[in-house]
Amino acid sequence: MSTSADSAHADRIFLNGLIRPGGARRPGPEPTALAVRGGRIMACGSDEDIRALAGDRTTVVDLQGRRVVPGLIDGHMHAVRAGASWASELRWTDLPDLATALSLIRTAADTARPGEWIRVVGGWHPSQFAEAREPDRAELDAVAPDHPVYVQALYEVAILNSSALRAAGIDATTPDPPGGRLERDPATGQLTGRVFGTGAFNRILDAIPPVAPDQERRSTAAMFADLHALGLTGIVDAGGFAMPPERYAPLFALWRDGSLSMRMRLFLSAADRGKEYEQLTEWMRHTPPGFGDPMLRFAGIGEVVHYDCHDFEGLEQFAISDAASDELYRISHRAAEHGWSMNIHAVLDESIDRILTCWESVDALLPLRDLRFSLSHADRISPRNLRRLSALGGGVVLDDHQVFKADLSEQAWGHGSMTAAPPLGDMAAAGVPLAAGTDATRASSHNPWLSLWWLISGHSVDGVARRAERHRMSRERALECYTAGSAWLTFEETDRGHLAPGAHADFAVLSEDYFTVPEERIPAIRSELTVVGGEVVHDSHTCSQPTK
């Protein structure tokens, strides 16, 4: 049995399970029980060993043979943005067909207030449906004729019904918004209800009435409850576009009143194009690096460091200009000067090449190795640039957006390109630290088990296996990326991402054994019991009731 030095009785013990503590597998029988004291793991071992740590006031939980893993940490999610409207949106993430998706809208319309918007904002893709298509305007009109309906498929396309077009003040005379396009029937010039581009998406989303601050707070708490039900105990929030300080108010309200149940680590992004250096400098002026506590902490700068260095999904021609590169150097230098970590979005190898050149110039003056600069996505990174990243002590944050977009990406990058997108085998060979997440909630699903399945199988939701065997992961390695790997990103691999004595008592009791369940069932895994800091934050009541 492994145990902490303190020999006092446990607060809680969990017996009769299959415990995967994380880290290197030890010889001998797998642990079946663990003990928690003071919010941390006290011991992990056999039922007999752990029973010996119980006292008169110890709570005992029978796991009934279920698998226990370290709590999942999503290394790249836009949770702060998503939380504010979570309770006001529908989610199509796991739906098998369009008919089911439309029925959700019909049901929502039956209970919605007059004129209330019904929306599905990302996290799904037509390729997951049996029909392999998104709904059209007429179908949305049929299920919700009296309510504005907005349905967005990742960042590819959004569909509006007639009520939504009217509510947004859009008609056939409306010009295309900057950075967007309103699709028109080529024969009649009338709007089809389909819109493209972030400029168009934001034009409609900005027309939806905002909710009150207290509603945003409750909505954020509801999102965390749903994510705990998937086994998540922590999130690295990647900031994103248009994320000024006031957008964090609902999260900070939960933190201040002690009701924050998810460990949040925040990367801070520039909110406005052309003001990146000034805005990020202000963040760094007013916030010491690593400021916070075990539940909420500022982690670094990113993922939007400079708008003109952001290559989006890498599907269109893109190049970082000299002026943007110079600005990125200034921001990177300032971050290193103040001891801040940095994470930056980069899909294409050409983008990564210029980013690394900036970082190497900074590194020559202010060593970066101890700051753990990292890239998000890195789908097209070359072996050469992996070696450069490794030399800087940098890492990569993987996400599963290609689980939906593999076909489109292959069309853009060429036949066979997805066999190494991302090149997981090359990353392993280069020794680059890897974290894992989803890029939810718009660019991908929030389901971590779908992301883990994608890392393991190399499949996309259209059923095609594209990634080569050497660029897939074992179940053990994928889980390590989603736990200890994401903890590495925020300098917490000692305290989080595993269940060794002394670590935070963050873990999930799974509905099925992740290590033995058929591969195709991995996306359907859920958590029966989720624990953060020794406290139960989700309970499906399938484990036996705790006893004293």
CATH of the domain at 109: 3.10.310.70
| pLDDT tens-digit map of 15-33 | 999 999 997 777 788 999 9
Range of the domain at 532: 2-71+506-539
pLDDT above 50: residue 6? no
Spatial distance between the Cα atoms of 523 and 485, rounded to a whole number of angstroms: 20
CATH code of the domain in which 64 resides:
2.30.40.10
Q: How many residues does the chain have?
A: 548
pLDDT at 544 over 80: no
- 461 against 106, higher pLDDT: 106
* Token digits of residue 123: 């996290």
Q: What is the CATH number of the domain that holds 429?
A: 3.20.20.140
Rounded to two decimals, what is the model's pTM?
A: 0.96
Could you give the count of Cα atoms lying within 13 Å of 363 in the half-sphere of its Cβ? 20
Q: Which residues contact 326 (CB under 8 A, 6 or more apart)?
A: none
What percent of the chain has a predicted confidence (pLDDT) above 90? Answer: 94
E strand or H helix at 535: strand 535-539
* Domain C-terminal end among 205, 235, 256: 205
Share of the chain above pLDDT 70, in %: 98
Give the total number of structural domains in the chain: 3
107 and 230 housed in the same domain: no
- Together in a domain, 15 and 107: no
Average pLDDT (497-526) is 98
Both tokens of 296, joined, read 């909420």
Residue 500 lies in a domain: no
Average pLDDT, the chain: 96
Residue 255 lies in a domain: yes
**Same domain (yes/no): 319, 406:** yes
Same domain, 528 and 471: no
Q: What is the dihedral of CA 271, 273, 279, 283, to 10 degrees?
A: 40
Asked if 406 and 281 sit in the same domain, the reply is yes
Measured at the alpha carbon of residue 405, what is the angle toward residues 308 and 399, in degrees to the nearest 5?
Answer: 70
On whether residue 49 sits in a domain, the answer given is yes
pLDDT in tens, 58-88: 999 999 999 999 999 999 999 999 999 999 9
215: in domain: no
Tell me what pLDDT residue 2 has.
60
Count how many Cα atoms sit within 13 Å of the Cα of residue 397 in the half-sphere of its side chain.
30
546 belongs to a structural domain:
no
Helix (H) or strand (E) holding 182: strand 181-184
Count other C-beta atoms under 10 Å from residue 367's C-beta: 12
For residue 548, the model assigns a pLDDT of: 60
pLDDT at residue 546 is higher than 70: no
- The answer on 384 and 281 residing in a single domain is yes
Q: Are residues 425 and 379 in the same domain?
A: yes
Residue 261 lies in a domain: yes
Cβ count within 10 A of residue 337: 12
